[in-house]
Amino acid sequence: MKVLSKYNIFFEHDSRYFVYNTLSSAIIELSHVFFVSMQKNDISCFSNDDVEAFYVEGILVDEDLDEGGCYLHHYDNYRFHSRRTTLNITLVPTYNCNLVCDYCNQGEKKVLSKNLTVNDVHRVSKFVKSYFRKNPEINKININFYGGEPLLCFEFCKSITSDIYNFCADKKIEFTSLLTTNGVLLTQATVDEFLKPFNVSVQLTVDGLYELHDSVRKDRAGKGTFSKTLDVIDMLIASGLKENITLRSHISDANIDMAEDVISYFKDKTNDFYFAFLKHYSGVNDKFKDGCTSSHCDLMHNYTIQSLIKKYYFSEEPTFGKKMPCSLNTVNTFFIDCNFDVYNCTLMLQNPKGVIGVIDVDGV
Protein backbone atom coordinates (compact mmCIF):
# COMPACT_ATOMS: atom_id res chain seq x y z
CA MET A 1 0.00 0.00 0.00
CA LYS A 2 1.22 3.48 -0.88
CA VAL A 3 0.92 6.46 1.47
CA LEU A 4 1.96 10.10 1.36
CA SER A 5 5.55 10.80 2.36
CA LYS A 6 6.06 12.57 5.66
CA TYR A 7 8.59 14.82 3.89
CA ASN A 8 5.97 16.46 1.65
CA ILE A 9 5.40 20.21 1.84
CA PHE A 10 2.33 21.75 0.16
CA PHE A 11 2.24 25.37 -0.93
CA GLU A 12 0.35 27.76 -3.17
CA HIS A 13 1.97 30.44 -5.33
CA ASP A 14 0.30 32.79 -7.84
CA SER A 15 -2.87 30.68 -7.75
CA ARG A 16 -0.90 27.53 -8.59
CA TYR A 17 -0.57 24.53 -6.31
CA PHE A 18 2.54 22.47 -5.55
CA VAL A 19 3.89 19.61 -3.50
CA TYR A 20 7.60 19.52 -2.68
CA ASN A 21 9.41 16.56 -1.12
CA THR A 22 12.46 17.53 0.91
CA LEU A 23 13.86 13.99 0.81
CA SER A 24 13.72 13.37 -2.95
CA SER A 25 13.83 17.08 -3.91
CA ALA A 26 10.94 16.43 -6.34
CA ILE A 27 8.50 19.28 -6.91
CA ILE A 28 5.21 18.77 -8.75
CA GLU A 29 2.44 21.14 -9.74
CA LEU A 30 -0.99 19.88 -8.66
CA SER A 31 -4.58 20.49 -9.64
CA HIS A 32 -6.64 22.17 -6.94
CA VAL A 33 -8.54 18.91 -6.36
CA PHE A 34 -5.32 16.96 -5.76
CA PHE A 35 -3.90 19.78 -3.65
CA VAL A 36 -6.88 19.77 -1.28
CA SER A 37 -7.23 15.96 -1.06
CA MET A 38 -3.54 15.29 -0.49
CA GLN A 39 -3.44 17.75 2.39
CA LYS A 40 -6.28 15.74 3.93
CA ASN A 41 -4.15 12.62 3.47
CA ASP A 42 -6.67 11.37 0.93
CA ILE A 43 -5.36 9.77 -2.27
CA SER A 44 -8.55 7.95 -3.22
CA CYS A 45 -8.89 10.15 -6.32
CA PHE A 46 -5.56 8.86 -7.71
CA SER A 47 -5.57 6.58 -10.75
CA ASN A 48 -3.03 3.77 -10.97
CA ASP A 49 -0.91 5.98 -13.25
CA ASP A 50 -1.09 8.81 -10.72
CA VAL A 51 0.07 6.49 -7.95
CA GLU A 52 2.99 5.27 -10.03
CA ALA A 53 4.04 8.81 -11.05
CA PHE A 54 3.97 10.13 -7.48
CA TYR A 55 5.70 6.99 -6.19
CA VAL A 56 8.60 7.41 -8.61
CA GLU A 57 9.11 10.98 -7.36
CA GLY A 58 8.95 10.02 -3.67
CA ILE A 59 5.69 11.88 -3.02
CA LEU A 60 4.11 8.51 -2.30
CA VAL A 61 6.02 5.77 -0.48
CA ASP A 62 5.42 2.23 0.72
CA GLU A 63 3.43 2.22 3.94
CA ASP A 64 6.09 0.30 5.86
CA LEU A 65 9.01 2.39 4.61
CA ASP A 66 11.15 3.93 7.36
CA GLU A 67 11.79 7.27 5.64
CA GLY A 68 13.83 8.65 8.50
CA GLY A 69 16.07 5.59 8.35
CA CYS A 70 16.40 6.01 4.56
CA TYR A 71 17.64 9.55 4.99
CA LEU A 72 20.07 8.61 7.76
CA HIS A 73 21.44 5.82 5.57
CA HIS A 74 21.86 8.25 2.67
CA TYR A 75 23.39 10.85 4.99
CA ASP A 76 25.89 8.50 6.62
CA ASN A 77 26.74 6.76 3.34
CA TYR A 78 27.83 10.11 1.93
CA ARG A 79 29.69 11.12 5.09
CA PHE A 80 31.62 7.94 5.67
CA HIS A 81 31.62 5.91 2.46
CA SER A 82 31.24 8.04 -0.66
CA ARG A 83 33.77 10.56 0.63
CA ARG A 84 36.02 8.02 2.34
CA THR A 85 38.38 7.62 -0.62
CA THR A 86 38.67 11.31 -1.57
CA LEU A 87 40.68 13.95 0.26
CA ASN A 88 38.96 17.29 -0.28
CA ILE A 89 41.06 20.34 0.47
CA THR A 90 39.74 23.87 -0.03
CA LEU A 91 42.45 26.50 0.17
CA VAL A 92 41.72 30.13 1.03
CA PRO A 93 45.06 31.79 0.18
CA THR A 94 43.62 35.20 1.05
CA TYR A 95 40.47 36.85 2.33
CA ASN A 96 41.34 39.95 0.33
CA CYS A 97 39.22 40.64 -2.72
CA ASN A 98 39.35 43.02 -5.66
CA LEU A 99 35.54 43.28 -5.69
CA VAL A 100 33.04 44.60 -3.16
CA CYS A 101 29.92 42.52 -3.81
CA ASP A 102 27.12 43.68 -1.53
CA TYR A 103 25.97 40.22 -0.54
CA CYS A 104 29.36 38.59 0.12
CA ASN A 105 28.96 36.10 2.99
CA GLN A 106 32.44 36.98 4.23
CA GLY A 107 31.49 40.59 4.84
CA GLU A 108 34.18 43.26 5.04
CA LYS A 109 36.65 41.28 7.18
CA LYS A 110 38.27 39.81 4.10
CA VAL A 111 40.08 43.11 3.37
CA LEU A 112 42.27 42.62 6.47
CA SER A 113 43.90 39.45 5.23
CA LYS A 114 47.42 38.29 4.54
CA ASN A 115 48.27 36.54 1.26
CA LEU A 116 49.92 33.15 0.92
CA THR A 117 53.01 33.01 -1.29
CA VAL A 118 55.18 30.31 -2.85
CA ASN A 119 57.13 30.27 0.42
CA ASP A 120 54.03 28.81 2.09
CA VAL A 121 53.54 25.95 -0.36
CA HIS A 122 55.67 23.46 1.60
CA ARG A 123 53.63 23.93 4.76
CA VAL A 124 50.31 23.15 3.09
CA SER A 125 51.83 20.45 0.92
CA LYS A 126 53.26 18.59 3.94
CA PHE A 127 49.83 18.55 5.57
CA VAL A 128 48.14 17.12 2.46
CA LYS A 129 50.78 14.46 1.88
CA SER A 130 50.95 13.48 5.54
CA TYR A 131 47.17 13.07 5.71
CA PHE A 132 47.23 10.94 2.57
CA ARG A 133 49.90 8.63 3.97
CA LYS A 134 47.92 8.12 7.17
CA ASN A 135 44.79 7.22 5.19
CA PRO A 136 45.78 4.60 2.62
CA GLU A 137 42.22 4.15 1.37
CA ILE A 138 42.37 7.57 -0.32
CA ASN A 139 42.63 7.27 -4.09
CA LYS A 140 41.83 10.85 -5.10
CA ILE A 141 42.89 14.33 -3.99
CA ASN A 142 40.71 17.29 -4.83
CA ILE A 143 42.17 20.79 -4.39
CA ASN A 144 39.79 23.76 -4.50
CA PHE A 145 40.65 27.45 -4.35
CA TYR A 146 38.33 29.90 -2.63
CA GLY A 147 38.56 33.34 -1.11
CA GLY A 148 38.50 36.30 -1.06
CA GLU A 149 39.87 36.20 -4.55
CA PRO A 150 42.40 33.37 -4.88
CA LEU A 151 44.00 34.82 -8.03
CA LEU A 152 45.45 37.58 -5.87
CA CYS A 153 47.78 34.73 -4.87
CA PHE A 154 48.27 33.33 -8.35
CA GLU A 155 51.84 32.10 -7.80
CA PHE A 156 50.84 30.23 -4.65
CA CYS A 157 47.84 28.63 -6.39
CA LYS A 158 49.96 27.57 -9.35
CA SER A 159 52.80 26.21 -7.20
CA ILE A 160 50.69 24.21 -4.75
CA THR A 161 48.66 22.76 -7.62
CA SER A 162 51.81 21.69 -9.45
CA ASP A 163 53.18 20.13 -6.27
CA ILE A 164 50.06 18.09 -5.44
CA TYR A 165 49.44 17.23 -9.10
CA ASN A 166 52.90 15.69 -9.37
CA PHE A 167 52.47 13.92 -6.04
CA CYS A 168 49.24 12.32 -7.28
CA ALA A 169 50.88 11.30 -10.54
CA ASP A 170 53.70 9.66 -8.56
CA LYS A 171 51.24 7.81 -6.32
CA LYS A 172 49.03 6.93 -9.31
CA ILE A 173 45.92 8.46 -7.79
CA GLU A 174 43.37 10.83 -9.31
CA PHE A 175 43.79 14.60 -9.05
CA THR A 176 41.08 17.22 -9.58
CA SER A 177 40.98 20.94 -8.93
CA LEU A 178 38.48 23.80 -8.98
CA LEU A 179 39.11 27.55 -8.94
CA THR A 180 36.23 29.66 -7.64
CA THR A 181 36.97 33.17 -8.88
CA ASN A 182 35.25 36.39 -9.86
CA GLY A 183 37.35 36.15 -13.03
CA VAL A 184 38.48 39.75 -13.17
CA LEU A 185 42.15 38.81 -12.70
CA LEU A 186 42.00 35.77 -14.96
CA THR A 187 44.37 36.22 -17.92
CA GLN A 188 45.79 34.15 -20.75
CA ALA A 189 48.80 33.49 -18.52
CA THR A 190 46.43 32.01 -15.93
CA VAL A 191 45.09 29.71 -18.61
CA ASP A 192 48.47 28.69 -20.04
CA GLU A 193 50.40 28.30 -16.79
CA PHE A 194 47.72 27.07 -14.40
CA LEU A 195 44.36 25.98 -15.78
CA LYS A 196 45.42 23.96 -18.82
CA PRO A 197 48.53 22.17 -17.47
CA PHE A 198 46.65 20.84 -14.43
CA ASN A 199 43.14 20.64 -15.93
CA VAL A 200 41.72 23.05 -13.34
CA SER A 201 38.00 23.73 -13.58
CA VAL A 202 36.66 27.26 -13.10
CA GLN A 203 33.52 28.50 -11.38
CA LEU A 204 32.41 32.03 -12.21
CA THR A 205 29.40 34.01 -11.01
CA VAL A 206 27.00 35.87 -13.30
CA ASP A 207 24.30 37.70 -11.37
CA GLY A 208 21.98 38.78 -14.13
CA LEU A 209 22.76 40.54 -17.39
CA TYR A 210 24.60 43.83 -17.81
CA GLU A 211 23.11 46.42 -15.41
CA LEU A 212 21.72 43.85 -12.97
CA HIS A 213 25.08 42.09 -12.62
CA ASP A 214 26.93 45.40 -12.46
CA SER A 215 24.66 46.69 -9.69
CA VAL A 216 25.89 44.05 -7.21
CA ARG A 217 29.27 42.83 -8.48
CA LYS A 218 31.53 45.88 -8.54
CA ASP A 219 35.24 46.49 -8.30
CA ARG A 220 36.69 48.74 -5.62
CA ALA A 221 36.28 51.75 -7.88
CA GLY A 222 32.55 51.05 -8.10
CA LYS A 223 32.68 49.82 -11.70
CA GLY A 224 30.59 46.84 -12.77
CA THR A 225 32.24 43.63 -13.96
CA PHE A 226 29.82 42.10 -16.46
CA SER A 227 31.81 42.98 -19.59
CA LYS A 228 35.03 41.70 -18.03
CA THR A 229 33.32 38.45 -17.02
CA LEU A 230 32.11 37.96 -20.59
CA ASP A 231 35.63 38.54 -21.92
CA VAL A 232 37.03 35.95 -19.53
CA ILE A 233 34.43 33.35 -20.49
CA ASP A 234 35.14 33.92 -24.19
CA MET A 235 38.87 33.60 -23.53
CA LEU A 236 38.37 30.29 -21.73
CA ILE A 237 36.24 28.98 -24.59
CA ALA A 238 38.81 30.12 -27.17
CA SER A 239 41.45 28.25 -25.14
CA GLY A 240 39.45 25.01 -25.41
CA LEU A 241 38.27 25.08 -21.81
CA LYS A 242 34.49 25.31 -22.22
CA GLU A 243 34.13 21.90 -20.57
CA ASN A 244 35.92 23.30 -17.52
CA ILE A 245 33.50 26.20 -16.97
CA THR A 246 30.68 26.22 -14.43
CA LEU A 247 28.56 29.34 -14.11
CA ARG A 248 26.68 30.19 -10.93
CA SER A 249 23.88 32.75 -10.72
CA HIS A 250 22.44 33.96 -7.45
CA ILE A 251 18.68 34.12 -7.07
CA SER A 252 16.80 36.66 -4.99
CA ASP A 253 13.22 37.86 -4.96
CA ALA A 254 14.32 40.80 -7.11
CA ASN A 255 15.76 38.84 -10.02
CA ILE A 256 13.82 35.56 -10.17
CA ASP A 257 11.78 36.88 -13.13
CA MET A 258 15.01 37.36 -15.09
CA ALA A 259 16.43 33.90 -14.39
CA GLU A 260 15.52 32.52 -17.81
CA ASP A 261 17.11 35.49 -19.57
CA VAL A 262 20.38 34.71 -17.79
CA ILE A 263 20.46 30.96 -18.42
CA SER A 264 19.39 31.44 -22.03
CA TYR A 265 22.13 34.00 -22.64
CA PHE A 266 24.86 31.76 -21.24
CA LYS A 267 23.58 28.32 -22.33
CA ASP A 268 26.24 27.95 -25.04
CA LYS A 269 29.08 29.44 -23.00
CA THR A 270 29.41 26.90 -20.22
CA ASN A 271 29.65 23.21 -19.43
CA ASP A 272 27.29 23.57 -16.47
CA PHE A 273 25.05 26.23 -14.97
CA TYR A 274 23.33 26.41 -11.63
CA PHE A 275 21.35 28.82 -9.51
CA ALA A 276 22.02 29.50 -5.83
CA PHE A 277 19.84 31.36 -3.37
CA LEU A 278 21.20 34.50 -1.75
CA LYS A 279 21.29 33.94 1.99
CA HIS A 280 21.50 36.32 4.92
CA TYR A 281 24.10 35.56 7.59
CA SER A 282 23.56 37.66 10.69
CA GLY A 283 26.44 39.98 11.43
CA VAL A 284 28.10 39.22 8.09
CA ASN A 285 26.07 40.57 5.16
CA ASP A 286 23.41 42.46 7.08
CA LYS A 287 23.37 45.36 4.65
CA PHE A 288 22.06 42.99 1.98
CA LYS A 289 19.50 41.33 4.25
CA ASP A 290 16.50 42.67 2.34
CA GLY A 291 17.87 41.27 -0.92
CA CYS A 292 18.17 37.72 0.38
CA THR A 293 15.51 35.03 0.09
CA SER A 294 13.67 33.38 2.95
CA SER A 295 13.17 29.62 3.11
CA HIS A 296 9.55 30.14 2.05
CA CYS A 297 10.67 32.07 -1.03
CA ASP A 298 13.29 29.45 -1.82
CA LEU A 299 10.55 26.86 -1.90
CA MET A 300 8.43 28.90 -4.31
CA HIS A 301 11.36 29.75 -6.59
CA ASN A 302 12.67 26.18 -6.68
CA TYR A 303 9.99 25.08 -9.16
CA THR A 304 10.95 27.84 -11.59
CA ILE A 305 14.65 27.15 -11.23
CA GLN A 306 14.47 23.39 -11.66
CA SER A 307 12.21 23.81 -14.68
CA LEU A 308 14.78 26.09 -16.30
CA ILE A 309 17.67 23.73 -15.56
CA LYS A 310 15.75 20.89 -17.25
CA LYS A 311 14.67 23.07 -20.16
CA TYR A 312 18.24 24.03 -20.99
CA TYR A 313 19.65 20.53 -20.40
CA PHE A 314 21.98 21.29 -17.52
CA SER A 315 22.51 18.82 -14.70
CA GLU A 316 19.90 18.98 -11.98
CA GLU A 317 21.09 19.92 -8.50
CA PRO A 318 18.49 20.44 -5.77
CA THR A 319 18.52 24.07 -4.71
CA PHE A 320 16.30 23.52 -1.69
CA GLY A 321 15.87 20.74 0.84
CA LYS A 322 18.75 18.83 2.39
CA LYS A 323 19.99 15.81 0.52
CA MET A 324 23.67 15.97 1.39
CA PRO A 325 25.36 16.55 4.74
CA CYS A 326 27.36 19.70 5.28
CA SER A 327 31.11 19.30 4.97
CA LEU A 328 31.17 20.01 8.71
CA ASN A 329 30.05 16.40 9.20
CA THR A 330 31.93 14.79 6.32
CA VAL A 331 35.18 12.85 6.54
CA ASN A 332 38.35 13.91 4.69
CA THR A 333 37.12 17.47 4.06
CA PHE A 334 39.14 20.47 5.21
CA PHE A 335 39.26 24.21 4.61
CA ILE A 336 42.70 25.77 5.12
CA ASP A 337 42.98 29.53 5.16
CA CYS A 338 45.83 32.03 4.83
CA ASN A 339 46.48 31.86 8.58
CA PHE A 340 46.92 28.06 8.32
CA ASP A 341 43.78 27.64 10.40
CA VAL A 342 41.81 24.50 9.53
CA TYR A 343 38.01 24.35 9.37
CA ASN A 344 35.39 21.78 8.36
CA CYS A 345 32.91 24.18 6.77
CA THR A 346 33.13 27.27 4.58
CA LEU A 347 30.66 29.21 6.74
CA MET A 348 32.98 28.77 9.71
CA LEU A 349 35.82 30.65 8.02
CA GLN A 350 37.20 33.49 10.18
CA ASN A 351 35.13 32.28 13.14
CA PRO A 352 37.52 31.31 15.96
CA LYS A 353 34.94 28.83 17.25
CA GLY A 354 35.09 26.97 13.96
CA VAL A 355 38.87 26.31 13.98
CA ILE A 356 39.59 22.61 14.43
CA GLY A 357 43.38 22.93 14.21
CA VAL A 358 46.34 24.94 12.96
CA ILE A 359 48.99 23.65 10.53
CA ASP A 360 52.45 24.22 11.94
CA VAL A 361 55.66 24.72 9.95
CA ASP A 362 56.08 20.95 9.71
CA GLY A 363 52.66 20.48 8.13
CA VAL A 364 51.17 18.90 11.22
pLDDT tens for 208-230 read 999 999 998 999 899 999 999 99
H or E element in which residue 161 lies: helix 154-171
Secondary structure class of 47 (helix, strand, coil): coil
Interval 100-107 mean pLDDT: 72
What integer pLDDT is reported at residue 340 of this predicted model? 96
125-136 pLDDT, tens per residue? 999 999 999 999
User: How far is residue 53 from each of residues 33, 49, 74, 308, measured CA to CA in Å?
Assistant: 17, 6, 22, 21
Is pTM, for the whole model, over 0.85? no
Classify the C-alpha dihedral 177-230-254-272 as positive or negative.
Answer: negative
User: Is the confidence at residue 291, as pLDDT, over 50?
Assistant: yes
pLDDT by residue (tens digit) across 180-198? 999 999 999 999 999 999 9
